[in-house]
A = this chain, B = another copy of it.
């Protein structure tokens, strides 16, 4: 099975079934299939051939899914571009990724204007909207003019590159993760088995579609003939309204999305009873906050862990062992990102790649058909990541007797103070127990005496403005070893990536520049 077989199957088996809703747009699978054939034929008509790279820069929407599906059909490699990048980073990706055509949403026309003169290979620009704009092909016009009978399909091979997903930028220049047919197809099957998705699911595309947190669902839920609901960008009230209106059964959110919903006073007025699975990932949630989420959504939260390099899923909690009312061990398990999913092997290892003992900190490594081909034009970084036959994730974790994995930190987020390791998530979990704390992040601050000290950035809940740094520090002293207690506390909203991840690199910069 290849990626283009998935829409083909849905259309053959359930052509008249509704495929998607996006605002006022409604399409059946047969209609979606026709549009996808037209888009693929139109791109070929522009001169693109099998193996050419195309990029997408757009907010979420049904056209984003169409591009993924059309590329699979027409033979193109898709590079989905992070919408929150600086124009210069976008320019780097378009050049580095050897992109021949860019499909962009209306919001990103100004970005294109800034960088257009520096783009080396791109010949074609398509505006993914109803309307047209000067110097851009109009998406709907391309579809209307296309002749799907002239579509040429060359066979894919399992090892062929299909997605080029740029990540990072936190440590310098973005790297293109090369995912093959085999990688993406394997993850689709893993995801279906991980959460038991089926043809009756209604999926809300809530996380950004340029990110693997959501893009896999364009294929997996299509393969099953399920129903897609789109939202341009995550807004808590709108998300709940869409769940209620479309009887959404499943979605993948990051913890900040869940936080924003929990902070919504009217959250309980929505009918969320259709929800069957809420997968969350990208970063762990403090157990206290998770319990609140379970109170709102029911016992349907699954923590998944993965990374772009593994297309993405590696571990997931099962509903067994995460009961909030369970015994002490079950409560502890709420903090776990679960166990290896079916189809993937995951280990936690020491520097010599030997499995650590339960409770010891090590690096998460993984192997499976979902592990990337490597980094685009970065043989050294590829070799470093894929050594000894295992993907080395750079994430630090412990593992318990039954292979439940607990992420303690990204390797680069760990704070070393006076020779002691402090895992930022451990301090953050304590901060979240403080009743006034809405969000918190802890990073390393350079220190002459200790090398580094923990520095806390805290966003307080509305009406909690009276809380002082001294009170926060005193609270921490009651909950952890003294060397882990933040030496500095900074109040204010936290900077975030477009996927809702707190931007620790930005906080590290701020911590570096703090005056006492």
**Interface status of A1 (Cβ within 8 A of chain B):** yes
Stretch from A192-200, A207-215, A286-294, A488-496 forming part of the interface with B: A192-200
Tell me, yes or no, whether A339 is within 8 Å of chain B by CB. yes
A223: interface (CB < 8 Å): yes
Query: Is A380 interfacial (CB-CB < 8 Å)?
Result: no
Are B200 and A319 in touch, CB under 8 angstroms? yes
Rounded to whole Å, the gap between the CB of A63 and the closest CB of chain B is: 26
Tell me which residues across on chain B come within 8 A of A318, comparing CB atoms.
198-200
A91 nearest CB across to chain B (Å): 41
Question: Which residues of the partner chain B approach A320 to less than 8 Å between Cβ atoms?
Answer: 17, 199-200
Task: Establish whether residues B342 and A192, one from each chain, have CB atoms under 8 Å apart when the complex forms.
Answer: yes
Contact of A403 among B1, B12, B199, B401 (CB under 8 A): B12
Q: Is the CB–CB distance between B403 and A342 below 8 Å?
A: no
State the Cβ distance, A193 to closest chain B Cβ, in Å.
5
A296 interface hit (Cβ, 8 Å): no
- 8 Å CB contact of A189 from B15, B17, B193, B223: B193
* A224 part of interface (Cβ distance < 8 Å): yes
Asked if A340 is an interface residue, CB under 8 A from chain B, the answer is yes
Category for how many chain A residues contact B: 20 to 34
Is A402 located at the chain interface by the 8 A CB criterion? Answer: yes
Bitwise, A196-232 to B at CB < 8 A (1) or not (0) is 1111100000000000000000000001100000000
Can you name the residue of chain B whose Cβ is closest to the Cβ of A188?
B342
A window 1-52: CB within 8 A of B: 1, 9, 12-17
Say yes or no: A13 contacts B342, CB within 8 Å. no
The complex is assembled from copies of this chain, and their number is 2
A402-B15, A402-B16 are known contacts. Are A342 and B196 too (CB-CB below 8 A)? no
| Complex CA–CA separation, A199 to B198 (angstroms) | 16
| Chain A at the B interface: SS class | loop
The complex places the Cα of A199 from the Cα of B193 at a distance, in Å, of: 10
- Name A338's closest neighbour in chain B (CB-CB): B13
Check A13–B343 contact: CB distance below 8 A.
Answer: no
Chain B residues closer than 8 Å to A342, beta-carbon distance = 9, 189, 192, 223-224
In the complex, chain B residues whose CB is within 8 Å of the CB of A319:
198-200
* Whole-angstrom CA separation of A224 from B319 in the bound complex: 13
- CB distance A13 to B192 under 8 Å? no
- Residues of chain B lying within 8 A (CB to CB) of residue A200: 318-320
Tell me the bound Cα distance from A318 to B15 in angstroms. Answer: 15
Contact in complex: B13, A339 (CB < 8 Å)? yes
Q: Which residues of B contact A199 (CB under 8 A)?
A: 318-320
Interchain residue pairs with CB less than 8 A apart (29): A1-B343, A9-B342, A12-B402, A12-B403, A13-B339, A13-B340, A13-B402, A13-B403, A14-B402, A15-B401, A15-B402, A16-B402, A17-B320, A189-B189, A189-B342, A189-B343, A192-B193, A192-B342, A193-B193, A196-B196, A196-B197, A196-B198, A198-B318, A198-B319, A199-B318, A199-B320, A200-B318, A200-B319, A224-B342
Residues of A within 8 A of B (CB): 1, 9, 12-17, 189, 192-193, 196-200, 223-224, 318-320, 339-340, 342-343, 401-403
* Extra inter-chain contacts (16) besides given A12-B402, A15-B402, A192-B193, CB under 8 Å: A9-B340, A13-B339, A13-B403, A16-B402, A189-B189, A189-B343, A192-B342, A196-B196, A198-B318, A199-B318, A199-B319, A200-B318, A200-B319, A200-B320, A223-B342, A224-B342
The 7 closest A-B pairs by CB, nearest first: A196-B196, A199-B318, A13-B403, A13-B339, A192-B193, A196-B198, A199-B320
